[in-house]
């Protein structure tokens, strides 16, 4: 592995104007990282990666490299069209260096910040604020951290062990508190957080509400929504011939997961033609390699217990696809996964005064990530809609800097503790308790 990585690193031309860095949403200094590795300074290379991107171990595995760093590599313009595969270099450096990260939390500055949601945006904000001395608590509705990275990306693409290691090294060792199974907006509200001394709140809740197609049959027992299926695919019994409605990255994840769960036949359906596939080229190629089929220009109009009914669609001169009346065809399947898109839950917004949303239910923010409620910031899918991990990290870095500036500008809190000086209960020594029969 190391030899292969070094061979790949030696292919880097060290461009004075690195197009790979420009293609990266967080502008990772790829040439410098590679130079440090080649000069036997692996720790310095790893430190540079983590300082720029706290989720570098994740991004090395799930980024859309063919359209970002590797897609912009100057070697693509050569006859061989063979870019430097920085993904394997980043994976090797970040994984190796992560095992050496054992330092404790930074000195505290006396201020607390709350992070709602432990997806890529929330974790990035939490790590950065902790680096700058804030006492950070993460609140998440699920029992483990990671958000869409754990519950929306299959284990074969992003192993849970990567996120478990992140929690230990970047959260526990850094003194970041995690409160699982706690959905802000229900029992606990944003107002409660400010009451308890948090100076600023970041909302990074993901899009966990599946969007329905609103066609007949979506409530049947052989149907699953994509986001629910990926969260726990083993819980669904969909048979061995599955239809996946959608051709985005989540749909590819659903299809490939179904194959791994024993489905013999999996077919993806798209309303438009093959040119309109939104999934990455690599994901589509892997899906086809693993046996996933595709049917294009098919608009589902009804789901039944033994399959789906679709109408053909045609592309007009304006580029829009319209359904052809009378072209209904039945396609037999034992189960159906609807993976068209996701939306945001609104319980948090309903219980928080002063926070506005747009027509899609996404939070309204200013350029600095601040919402319409003072002290509350937001980023990630809750603001932008479904995006990639690295895009969430890029936005979160800017929002974290805004939160830091906001909290530093707050007036000092000189409110006296009303319970200062009260008696402190002293637990009797163990021998006294023993004599009392306790």
CATH superfamily, domain 212-340, is FAD/NAD(P)-binding domain (3.50.50.60)
pLDDT digit string (tens) for 85-104? 999 999 999 999 998 887 77
**Domain made up of 112-208+343-409: CATH architecture:** 3-Layer(bba) Sandwich (3.50)
In the prediction, which pLDDT does 338 show? 97
Average pLDDT over residues 36-55: 96
Average pLDDT over residues 375-391: 87
pLDDT digit string (tens) for 99-155? 888 777 889 999 999 999 999 999 999 999 999 999 999 999 999 999 999 999 999
In the prediction, which pLDDT does 435 show? 61
pLDDT digit string (tens) for 171-185? 999 999 999 999 998
* Residue 430: pLDDT band with limits 50, 70, 90: low
Answer yes or no: is pLDDT of 432 > 60.
no
Query: How large a percentage of the chain has pLDDT more than 70?
Result: 94
In the prediction, which pLDDT does 358 show? 77
In the prediction, which pLDDT does 356 show? 79
In the prediction, which pLDDT does 343 show? 64
* 106/193: higher pLDDT: 193
Query: How large a percentage of the chain has pLDDT more than 90?
Result: 75
**Domain made up of 5-99: CATH architecture:** Orthogonal Bundle (1.10)
Average pLDDT over residues 379-387: 80
Contact 186, 141 (CB under 8 A): no
In the prediction, which pLDDT does 357 show? 78
- Rounded CA separation 239/135 (Å): 48
CA 353 centroid distance within chain: 27
Domain ranges of the chain: 5-99, 112-208+343-409, 212-340
Q: What is the mean pLDDT of the chain?
A: 91
* Residue 403: pLDDT band with limits 50, 70, 90: very high
Domains 5-99 and 212-340 share a fold: no
pLDDT digit string (tens) for 235-286? 999 999 999 999 999 999 999 999 999 999 999 999 999 998 999 888 999 9
Average pLDDT over residues 299-326: 96
In the prediction, which pLDDT does 434 show? 60
* Residue 191: pLDDT band with limits 50, 70, 90: very high
Residues with Cβ within 8 Å of 435's Cβ and at least 6 positions away in sequence, in order, are none
């Amino acid at each position: 592995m190391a030899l292969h990585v070094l061979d790949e690193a030696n292919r880097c031309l060290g461009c004075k104007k690195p197009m790979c860095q420009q293609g990266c949403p967080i502008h990772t200094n790829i040439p410098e990282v590679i130079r440090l590795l080649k000069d036997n300074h692996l720790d310095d290379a790893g430190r540079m990666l983590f300082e720029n991107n706290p989720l570098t171990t994740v991004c090395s595995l799930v980024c859309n490299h063919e359209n970002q760093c590797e897609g912009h590599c100057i070697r693509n313009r050569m006859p061989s069209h063979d870019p430097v595969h920085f993904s394997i270099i980043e994976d090797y450096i970040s994984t190796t260096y992560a095992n050496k990260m054992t330092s404790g939390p930074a000195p505290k500055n006396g201020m607390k910040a709350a992070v709602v949601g432990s997806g890529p945006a929330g974790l990035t904000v939490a790590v950065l604020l902790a680096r700058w001395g804030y006492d950070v608590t993460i609140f998440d509705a699920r029992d483990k951290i990671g958000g869409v990275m754990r519950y929306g990306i299959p284990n074969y693409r992003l192993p849970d062990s990567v996120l478990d290691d992140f929690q230990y090294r970047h959260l526990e060792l850094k003194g970041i508190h995690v409160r699982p199974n706690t959905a802000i907006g229900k029992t606990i509200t944003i107002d409660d957080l400010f009451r308890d001394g948090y100076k600023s709140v970041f909302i990074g809740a993901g899009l966990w509400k599946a969007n329905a197609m609103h066609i007949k049959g979506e409530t049947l027992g052989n149907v699953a929504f994509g986001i629910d299926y990926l969260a726990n695919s083993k819980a669904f019994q969909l048979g061995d011939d599955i239809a996946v409605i959608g051709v985005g990255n989540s749909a590819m994840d659903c299809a490939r997961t179904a194959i791994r769960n024993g489905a013999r036949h999996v077919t993806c359906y798209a309303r438009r033609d093959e040119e309109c596939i939104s999934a990455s080229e690599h994901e589509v190629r892997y899906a086809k390699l693993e046996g996933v089929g595709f049917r294009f220009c098919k608009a589902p109009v009804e789901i039944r217990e033994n399959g789906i009914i679709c109408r053909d669609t045609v592309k007009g001169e304006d580029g829009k696809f319209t359904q052809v009346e009378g072209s209904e065809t039945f396609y037999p399947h034992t189960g159906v996964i609807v993976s068209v898109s996701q939306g945001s839950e609104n319980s948090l917004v309903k219980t928080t005064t002063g926070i506005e949303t747009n027509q899609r239910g996404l939070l309204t923010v200013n350029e600095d990530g601040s919402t319409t409620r003072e002290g509350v910031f937001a980023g990630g899918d809750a603001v932008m809609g479904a995006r990639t991990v690295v895009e969430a990290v890029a936005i979160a870095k800017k929002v974290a800097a805004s939160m830091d500036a906001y909290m530093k500008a707050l007036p000092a809190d000189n409110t006296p503790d009303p319970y200062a000086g009260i008696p402190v209960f002293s637990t009797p020594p163990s021998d006294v308790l023993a004599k009392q029969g306790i």
